[in-house]
Structures are given as C-alpha cells and as structure tokens.
Structure 1
Amino acid sequence: MPKPSIAPNPAARSARAAVLNFGLLILLLATVVVSMMLGQVSASPAEVMGAILNKVGIDWLPLPEHPKALDTLWSIRFPRIAVAALVGAALALAGLLMQAIFGNPLAEPGVVGVSSGAALGAGIAIVFGITFWGGWTTALMAFAGGLIATLTVYFLSRGGGKTEVVTLVLTGIAVNAICGAGIALMMFIGDTSSREQIVFWQLGSMAGSGWAEVWVILPVLVVGALCSLLVARKLDLLSLGERNARHLGVNVELLRLSVIIVVALVVGVSVAFTGIIAFVGLVIPHIMRGILGPAHGPLLLSSMLGGALLLTLADVAARTLVPMADLPIGMITSLIGGPFFFWLLRRTRQSAGGWG
C-alpha cells in the first residue's frame, strides 16, 4: 500500500467531508424511506411518516389502510432496515480499521476470514446450546471466533516488519477454509434447526431481524466508533510507516492489538445476527479514501454512512428483485465486491511492481 501524505489544506478537507457526509446522509434517509414503502404490504411516504409519528403520539399524517400494515412496519420492516444500516456501518468501519493496521488495501473482514471465524463461533454456540451469558452468548462467541481469526491472520501474514499482499490474501484463504470446515462439521453434528441457522449465516440475510438485535448492535457500534475516533490520529501516523510512527511516540503493537479487538467486536456482533456479508468493508473505505484522502478522522463517519447506505440498498434489492422471495444479501454484496476486489488486486500488484 503506498504511503499516503496528509492533505495540506485541513479547511478544504473538512469542507469536502462535511459536504460528502451531508450528501450520504440525505441518500441514506431517502433509501430508508423507500425501503419502508416497499414490500408485500406497501405504504406511501405519507403513511410511512404517519406510522413513525403515531408511535410518539402524533396523528398529523394518515396511517396505512391495510389493517396489519402498522404492526408489519414496526415489528418487521423498521427493525430490519435499522439492522441493515447498522451492520453496513459496522462492516465499513471494520474494513477501514483493518486496512489501516495492516497497511494493506486488500484487508477486509470477509476476505481475511474474520467473518467466517465469527460465524463459526456463533455456530458452535447454537449447535452445543451454549447459553452462559443469556441472549448475548451467541454474539460473544462470534466475537471470540472473529478475534481468533483476526489474530491468526495478523501474526501469520507478517514478515520482516510488514504485511505482504500475497501473504495476507493466502492467509485469509486458509483461515476461511479452516472455518468453513468447522462450519461444515457443525452442520453435520447439529439438528435440523441448527443446520438452517448455519446456512442462514453462510448466505447472509436480514430476514428475522428485530428490535432486540438493534439494541445489541447499536451500543457495540457506538463504542467501536468512539474507540476508532480516539486512535484516528495514531492511524494517520502509522500510515507513514511503522518506523516513523514509533519515532513519533506510537506504540504500534499495542495500537494494532487494540484495533483488532474493536474489529472483532463489531464484526462478531454483526455476523452473529446477519451472517457472512462480504466486501462492504473493502469497497466503501476505498471510495471514501479516494474522495477525502488518507486522514482517518474524516474517513470514519463517511465510511460508516457509506456502508449503511450500501447495505440498505442491497437489502432493498434482496426484498424486491424477486417477487415473494428474499434473496441472500451476502450474494448481492459479493456480486458488487467481487469485481471490485479483482480490480483492486490487479492495481495493487501493478503499483507494487509484483506481488510484494
């Protein structure tokens, strides 16, 4: 990954970030409203807003005419949209952080095996009925699986003080293969219900998401975002090279381990409820970095908004492309991210003068 330089005009960079964030927020809100309108029970924009205002005791706008529409919106559609936005933001944040600590543009939770490690951890909890921490147990096991996978990739892909592109990709392939074997074993020894849940993880889907998932993912994402904001400046220094960062007072190994824990936390919680959704953390940070530059402070919010927008759009497509069917959202993001990953891999190889 080429060593970026911090843009010389902070005021211009801040203005560009503000405009971008405002545009992303407007697009996200518009997508959320459209997503609320679409489905087996349709609703107009006024009815959607009426359903929202009715919840807080304001009856200014009309409610949906269908007798079950209000319950459908609040119990199924609204929480699903919220989970899609939160998971998209979490995966984009995780991708940005992984690219920063690995110093590698190809680092992404799905590519290097973090998502599959988290899915394996969640699968173990379900198959063996592990419930030592109540409703949080599955998320905790997913976090543990993601953390182990991330640490494995980190330590095995480093050599000579750097992380090589080919080593990172191959290590990720190996971790994905091992976790895939573990998931297959869980499917073999599990009952029918467990197998269905594991298949759900492998495909990735927002189906069945409720408010309980929202209230688990939201605080974890907030904590992860705040921790990322606190280390954003150190990540900027790390992008100048490990030696320079150390001379400037950065404890590089402590920084990396801390960020790895944050990544495993946000990815683990997301995967526990929605399954493996690849490439969001690869595509979005690169687009935002191309617009705003390499400084991580402005990139944090932009990447999270971009990730939320992408996954909300993908969820709309999953619900509407095929009538009366719910497509796997992981398939849709892979169709977008796969070609992007191929292009990025070739560009990285050319810029590095080989596979180094």
Structure 2
Amino acid sequence: MTVTVLGVGILVMMVVSGSVGTVEVGFVDAARIVVGHLVPDMPWMSDGSLTVLQDQAVWQFRLPRALLAALAGAGLALAGAIMQVIVRNPLAEPYLLGVSSGAGVGAVLVITLGSAAVGGLPLGAAAFVGALVASACVALTARHRGVLSPTRMVLSGVALGSLFSAVTSYLTLTTEAQNVFSVLFFLLGSVSAASMGSLVVPAVALAVACVVVGLRTRAMNALLSGDESATALGVDVNRLRAVLLVTAALLTGSIVSVSGGIGFVGLVIPHVARILVGADHRRMLPVAVLGGATFLMLADLLSRTVAAPTEVPIGILTAVVGAPFFLWLMRRDSAAQAGLDR
C-alpha cells in the first residue's frame, strides 16, 4: 500500500512540476505533452492546442529536472540506508563518511581552477572521481587487521570530510569573486541544469545499486544483529561491507556529480521508511527509494516557487524541512523501534 501511494505521488509530482513555471501550462496540458512525446501520433501534438513554447518548457526543462530530482532523492535515500547498515549507525549518510565532501572538492577544483587542474575532466566527472577517492581513503583507513571496522569508518569519514571541507573552503576564499556563487550553488545542491542526457549516469547507477542491494537484503538484515550473529548465519561480513561501500560510493558520486551536494535525504528518509514498514530491508528499501524520490521532487518544486523568480538551492530546503522533521521523529515513541535511539 505504501509503495503504491508513493508511486502515485511521484506521478502527480511530475505533472505538477511540468505545469509550474513562467510559461503557463495547465496540469492536463503538461500530462498531454509528456504522453505525446512518449506515444507517437497523438492528435493534440499537431492540432495547434499546444504551443511550441509550452512543449519546450515541459519536455526540455521541467520534466528533466523533475526526473533528476527523483533519481537524486531515490539514490541518496538508498545510499543513506546502505551506509547505516555498513556502520550500524542510524546517523550515517553520504556526508558522514566524507563521500559528498570528496565530490565537492573535485567539482570546486574545476570551478575555481579550471578542468586542467583535474586532468581535463568536466565538472561532473571531477565530482565523481572526488567521491571515489574519498571512499577509497575511508576504506583504507578503516581497515584493521584486514577487517573493515564500522567505528573506524565513522571516525575516518568525519576526519576526511572535515579535511575535504577545509580544502573546499580554501579554494572558495582564494578564487575570483565571480566563481563564488557557482561554488556555493553547487555545494548547496540544484537540479536546475538538468537535461535528458544528464539523467543517464544517475539512472544507471541507481539501477545497478538496486540490483546489488536487492540481492543482499537478507544479509543486510543479518548484519544489523551484529558481526558475530551475521557470521554465524553464513554472511561474509567483511566482503559484504566492501561491496556495499563501493555501491554507496558509486551511487553518491554519480548523483553529486549532476546535482551537487544535497544533504539530509540519506539521513531522514530511511528512518521514515523504517517507521512506516519496519526494519526488514526487503520492505524498507523500496519505500526509502520511492520516498526519497517524492521528497526531493517536492523540495525542487518549492525551490522554484517559494522565492520566485529567484531559485533557492535545493539543499537549503532539504535542511529546513528535514532538520525539524527529524527532531520530531526522535521525540516520537516509535523512534525507538526505528533505531533512532540506539
């Protein structure tokens, strides 16, 4: 039931997003434009009832950013859920392990020093490489006698995240004034530059991550009970953590490379999913993925409208909405069942 409601919510948000903007397009017309591009020879696409400007506004600008928001929200929620399993810590998310900060360094290097500073890589690719480098550093420093230690991963992630943030701050302070806005807008997150082409990488990463995680939900359930219990059930704990860490890193890097740094999604949404359907990953992960997509689509819609015509970075809204909501969740009696006070 929850999955169905969220699925319908995503479809509704796409139609609403397609109708909101400076070019006036009704809800029905926005839906007709999308269907007309997906299904050939629809009569309303050529009978003059829709203008070229309306078609371009919906299909080339509003729909891609709605889809990118959905992919980013779904991916960040899944990455957060994965990391919470890896370190058995309900506060884990991409930012905690320094992955997002590493991606930020790669992107800011391109913005401030040019692509030559990172071997000619474009901004998105540099952010992706930065996320992978950060994940590799966390994995290397967290190994103790050949085993990935959850506590060491958290401590390494916090330390490396602070280091990467310091590098980003230095680059921002020493760059030319016209670059500062671009840096801040990227670090706070935005899907305003979305295009159909920019959807490919995060979509593929999300699909691969869903397959990898979907095949390991039972092992992830076992890992929550502790390393010894999971090992007794036949789970190779060290290998499982390594696979999940690589998966989360690739997923986060691919998303940050096209949408910038968007916080709180990976922290809040998995907890909400656990409250709704329980801690079993076979039920929780689909709800988290769809819930993350719905949440970020709504945040993107608000980012375009609350201060129109100025666009508010989406990361600001996720923090403004997410922080109070998370504190409210912690006050609920059901918070204990969701693992918030462990």
Task: Using the TM superposition, give the Cα deviation of residue 244 of structure 1 relative to its aligned residue in structure 2, in angstroms.
Answer: 0.8
Task: Using the TM superposition, give the Cα deviation of residue 36 of structure 1 relative to its aligned residue in structure 2, in angstroms.
Answer: 0.9
Q: Identify if the C-alpha distance between structure 1 residues 153 and 298 changes in structure 2 by more than 3 Å, giving closer, same or farther.
A: farther
- Aligned residue identity for 2:7: L
- Aligned residue identity for 2:59: W
Where structure 2 has 5 or more consecutive residues not aligned to the other structure, the ranges are none
Q: Tell me which moved more, 175-184 or 226-235.
A: 175-184
Tell me what 1:103 maps to: 88
Distance 2:284 2:13 in 1: 21
Tell me what 1:33 maps to: 15
Q: 2:321 aligns with which of 325, 331, 336?
A: 336
Q: Judge conservation of contact 1:203–1:275 (CA < 8 Å) in 2.
A: yes
Task: Using the TM superposition, give the Cα deviation of residue 125 of structure 1 relative to its aligned residue in structure 2, in angstroms.
Answer: 4.7
Tell me what 2:42 maps to: 59
Tell me what 1:281 maps to: 266
**Any residues of structure 2 matched to 1:13-32 within 5 Å, and which?**
19-32=1-14
Task: Using the TM superposition, give the Cα deviation of residue 21 of structure 1 relative to its aligned residue in structure 2, in angstroms.
Answer: 0.5
Distance 1:298 1:289 in 2: 9
Distance 1:347 1:155 in 2: 36
* 1:175 is the counterpart of 2:160: yes
- Aligned residue identity for 1:275: G
Distance 2:203 2:29 in 1: 26
SS at match of 1:120: helix
Tell me what 2:292 maps to: 307
Q: Judge conservation of contact 1:142–1:271 (CA < 8 Å) in 2.
A: no
Tell me what 1:144 maps to: 132
Task: Using the TM superposition, give the Cα deviation of residue 67 of structure 1 relative to its aligned residue in structure 2, in angstroms.
Answer: 4.2
Runs of at least 4 residues off by over 6 Å: 133-136, 344-348
Deviations 1:115-154 (A, max 9, x none): 1122113333553513566786335313324414653785
Task: Using the TM superposition, give the Cα deviation of residue 91 of structure 1 relative to its aligned residue in structure 2, in angstroms.
Answer: 0.2
Deviations 1:219-240 (A, max 9, x none): 1110111111111111011111
> RMSD in angstroms over aligned alpha carbons?
3.1
Tell me what 2:229 maps to: 244
Task: Using the TM superposition, give the Cα deviation of residue 172 of structure 1 relative to its aligned residue in structure 2, in angstroms.
Answer: 5.1
The TM-score normalised by the length of structure 2 is 0.85
Task: Using the TM superposition, give the Cα deviation of residue 286 of structure 1 relative to its aligned residue in structure 2, in angstroms.
Answer: 0.6
Q: Judge conservation of contact 1:88–1:311 (CA < 8 Å) in 2.
A: yes
Q: Identify if the C-alpha distance between structure 1 residues 345 and 47 changes in structure 2 by more than 3 Å, giving closer, same or farther.
A: closer
- Aligned residue identity for 1:59: M
Task: Using the TM superposition, give the Cα deviation of residue 206 of structure 1 relative to its aligned residue in structure 2, in angstroms.
Answer: 1.1
Q: Tell me which moved more, 328-337 or 103-112.
A: 103-112
Task: Using the TM superposition, give the Cα deviation of residue 317 of structure 1 relative to its aligned residue in structure 2, in angstroms.
Answer: 0.4
Q: 1:203 aligns with which of 172, 188, 206?
A: 188
* 1:323 is the counterpart of 2:308: yes
SS at match of 1:83: helix
Q: Judge conservation of contact 1:233–1:296 (CA < 8 Å) in 2.
A: yes
Tell me what 2:75 maps to: 90
Deviations 1:99-126 (A, max 9, x none): 1111111111134432112211333355
Distance 2:186 2:141 in 1: 21
Deviations 1:60-96 (A, max 9, x none): 4477645412112222111111100000000000011
SS at match of 1:163: helix
* Percent identity of equivalent pairs: 32
Q: Judge conservation of contact 2:105–2:168 (CA < 8 Å) in 1.
A: yes
Q: Identify if the C-alpha distance between structure 1 residues 194 and 225 changes in structure 2 by more than 3 Å, giving closer, same or farther.
A: farther
Q: Judge conservation of contact 2:222–2:229 (CA < 8 Å) in 1.
A: yes
SS at match of 2:262: coil
Aligned residues: 329
The TM-score normalised by the length of structure 1 is 0.82
